[in-house]
Chains A and B, each alone.
Chain A
Amino acid sequence: MVMEIVCPAGTPAALRAAVKAGAHTVYCGFNDETNARNFPGLNFNRSEMRDAVSFAHQHGSKVLVAINTFPRAGDEAIWHSAVADAETCGADAVILADLGLLDHTARTHPGLRRHLSVQAAAANADVINFYADTFGVKRVVLPRVLSVPEIAAINAETEVETEVFVFGGLCVMAEGRCSLSSYATGLSPNMNGVCSPASHVDYSEDQGVLDARLGGYLIHRVDKGEPAPYPTLCKGCFTAGSQTGHLFEDPVSLNAEQLIPQLQKAGVTALKIEGRQRSKSYVAQVVRNFRAAVDALEAGRPMPEGMLARLSEGQAMTTGAYKKTWR
């Protein structure tokens, strides 16, 4: 079976562009703190979601709604209504991470398909099967800590479909288990759906040097005229012992396009593209390229090569944890 391309959409326009470009599936979220890309001007209100699902269904595509932050104590109703509204809008599945929300959804919306978010960091077959047995989870988005052989081993031991990230931003830490951002800024992926938020970024220039700070901490310092990467915490330049550099990760993004055949052999069902904050033209181009790749694979043709390099905006690319030496 052809591998499923799961594509991000931060806006209704991006969703339509992704569907027209050939996305089998699009994932998106409501415009509040219930999803892990809670950025200003992004995401869908309820009526946009209804229209988006209906547009996608007319074109044979599916829509997954990410409700993958961890509900705040005292305010669970906000997350419960997101699940209920996703079902009402006709979503094909919800992507969840929180135990309490999984339990709630399994009990009160049994007919709504449940996927396990990468934010749950389920990294082995035992825990994946546990989520399946307990909450009826049908698909798991695997955390970006696993090598291809480990993914194959997981698929050999579970009936749950696996979805893996193949392109876009790369978390170095196990997702859903990182509070670096809230340590420096007070806002975190788990609680607020943001990491290294723009509201806490400060660029300052002095004597030909440009500093990028997050929450007051210097993350990058470059000479004027050099490209200044966004100050994402785990990709900053730091010093430890006698060494200075990108101690956690270089400012790279993930590109596993050349691993698609191996991922298929490993039993992966779906390939996920990161980037709900990206423009509709970016999304359309990435989708077209990945769709061409999986169609070529299915037809037994060779994979197109280096198709996405120009989309990385001059950034270096990595295959991340899929190759074991990354660790």
Chain B
Amino acid sequence: MELTVGPSQFFWPADFWTGFYQDLTQSPVDRVVIGELVCSKRLPFYQDRIPDAISALIEAGKQVSLTSLALITLKRERKLTAELAEMGVTVEVNDLTALAHLPKGCAFTVGPLVNVYNEGTLNWLAARGANRVCLPPELPLESVEALTRVANDLDIAIEVWGHGRLPLAISGRCYHARLHGRTKDNCQFACEDDPDGLEVLTGDGRPFMAMNGVQTLSDSYACTDHQIDQLRWVGVSALRLSPQSKGFAKLCILYRQRLDQTLPQGGVAKAITTEDPALRLSDGFLTGACGADWSGTS
């Protein structure tokens, strides 16, 4: 099984962003999806650095693709989307608008924010040119298995959300701006203060979600440590690791060791919760009663 690094969901300062992708050239991952997923207003701050980052990753032997935005409404965003294919790497569709702009027959990949829930959708995407699909994180293991079986016949590689805060919702409204009493158009880039999202607690102080501009994430970090053997068994091609601002290089190494079976089941979770005892993990979408459940709880 391979490792794919998904697009960063967060707004990072340009130098930090550059350093993150430089580090990835040395990382034991196979594929990197780069670009802005969440908010088009962030893009001008680092857009000019994307070509160099792509070149460096390709030189380091990584496959690279470029993500679309998750929700495309404005004229400027439509134009950006239409220009994605001109960057010379595969486009990862995370809003079907991107597909509308791709030349027919052009190969593409499908990200976790496109609703691929069944065989009919997979068949249609394959006929249209999809060669890789990262399934929506919400899907249970039974659906992953059913879809992977069909995907193998269609020559589509299946990815599963392997690690990181879960993208639970996207909105027209910016919650970071709202929190600061601003509108989205005058957000003053409030989300930049929270490089991994801002924790949202319930009324009795229980961590629940994380806000990230127009996006809402889970508080917990999804972690497939306990499902890796089953995912491999059903034919999943790759795990997707979602960028985080701290400890990401080490996380990639841990998952690589886990896939190579030099680290036992539970080894990834143990290592990262030893490092950060406050870290909350989840794998309930795959095998639990609800998404927030964690099978590693003793």
**Contact in complex: B200, A238 (CB < 8 Å):** yes
A174 proximal to B (CB < 8 A): yes
- Chain B contacts with A in 157-216, Cβ cutoff 8 A: 166, 168-175, 177-179, 183-185, 198-206, 208-209, 211, 216
A145 part of interface (Cβ distance < 8 Å): yes
- In the complex, are the beta carbons of A100 and B122 less than 8 A apart? yes
Q: Assess whether B171 is in contact with A173, with CB atoms less than 8 Å apart.
A: yes
* Chain B residues with CB below 8 A from A215, complex form: 290, 292
B200 to chain A, nearest CB (A): 5
The answer to whether A238 and B208 have CB atoms under 8 Å apart is yes
28 of the cross-chain contacts (CB-CB < 8 Å) are A70-B118, A70-B121, A71-B117, A71-B120, A98-B117, A98-B121, A100-B118, A100-B120, A124-B97, A126-B101, A127-B72, A127-B96, A130-B97, A130-B99, A145-B173, A146-B73, A146-B172, A174-B171, A218-B204, A219-B203, A221-B203, A237-B203, A238-B200, A243-B179, A247-B175, A247-B178, A327-B172, A327-B173
**Complex contacts, A186 vs chain B, CB 8 Å:** 284, 288-291
Q: Is B29 an interface residue (CB 8 A)?
A: no
Question: In the complex, which residues of chain A have a beta carbon less than 8 angstroms from the beta carbon of B81?
Answer: 126
The reply to whether B203 and A99 contact each other, CB–CB distance below 8 Å, is no
Q: Does B125 contact A (CB under 8 A)?
A: yes
With contact pairs A76-B118, A127-B100, A248-B216 given, residues A185 and B290 touching in the complex (Cβ less than 8 Å): yes
> Given A126-B78, A126-B100, is A174 in contact with B71 using a C-beta cutoff of 8 Å?
yes
B121 touches A99 (CB 8 A): yes
How far does the alpha carbon of A191 sit from the alpha carbon of B135 in the complex, in Å? 14
User: In the complex, are the beta carbons of A327 and B185 less than 8 A apart?
Assistant: yes
Chain B interface, >50% SS class: mixed
| Bound CA–CA A178/B184 (angstroms) | 20
From A271-279, A293-301, A305-313, A318-326, the one touching the partner chain is: A318-326
| Nearest chain A CB to B155 CB, angstrom units | 18
Q: Which residues of A contact B113 (CB under 8 A)?
A: 177
A236–B184 Cα gap in the complex (Å)? 21
A241 to B166, CA, bound (A): 20
Chain A contacts of B136 at CB under 8 A? 179
Q: Please measure, in the bound complex, the distance between the C-alpha atom of A127 and the C-alpha atom of B101, giving whole angstroms.
A: 9
A268 close to B (CB within 8 Å): no
Q: Is B131 an interface residue (CB 8 A)?
A: no
Does A1 interact with chain B (Cβ within 8 Å)?
A: no
Q: In whole Å, how far is B269's beta carbon from the nearest beta carbon of chain A?
A: 19
- Beyond A179-B291, A244-B203: 20 further Cβ-contacts under 8 Å? A71-B120, A73-B147, A98-B115, A98-B118, A100-B120, A123-B71, A123-B73, A126-B81, A146-B73, A172-B171, A172-B173, A177-B71, A180-B209, A182-B285, A185-B290, A238-B200, A238-B209, A241-B179, A248-B216, A321-B172
* A150 contacts B by Cβ under 8 Å: yes
Do residues A182 and B290 form an inter-chain contact, with CB atoms below 8 A? yes
Cβ of A127 and Cβ of B204 under 8 Å apart? no
CB distance from A324 to the nearest CB of B (A): 7
Q: Which residues on the A side are within 8 Å of B118 (C-beta)? A: 70-73, 76, 98, 100
Q: Which of B73, B203, B285 contacts A239 (CB 8 A)?
A: B203
Question: Considering the chains assembled together, what is the distance between the CA atoms of A256 and B172 in angstroms?
Answer: 17
- CA–CA, A325 and B177, complex, Å: 11
Among B10-18, B138-146, B251-259, the one that faces the other chain is: B138-146
Give the 8 A-B residue pairs with the shortest CB-CB distance, closest first.
A100-B120, A145-B172, A183-B291, A100-B121, A130-B100, A327-B184, A73-B146, A70-B117
By the criterion CB–CB under 8 Å, are B198 and A241 in contact?
yes
Is B2 an interface residue when CB atoms closer than 8 A count as contact?
Answer: no
CA distance A191 to B216 in the complex (A): 19
A220: interface (CB < 8 Å):
yes
Chain B residue contacts of A218, Cβ below 8 A: 202-204, 206
| B120 engages A173 (CB within 8 Å) | no
Q: Quick check: is A103 within 8 A (CB to CB) of the other chain?
A: yes
Kindly list chain B residues whose C-beta atoms are within 8 Å of the C-beta of A190: 115, 117, 138
Kindly state the separation between the CA atoms of A141 and B274 in the bound complex, as whole angstroms.
49
B225 at the interface (CB under 8 A from A): no
Docked Cα-Cα span, A73 to B166, in Å, equals: 21
Q: Does A287 have its Cβ within 8 Å of any Cβ on chain B?
A: no
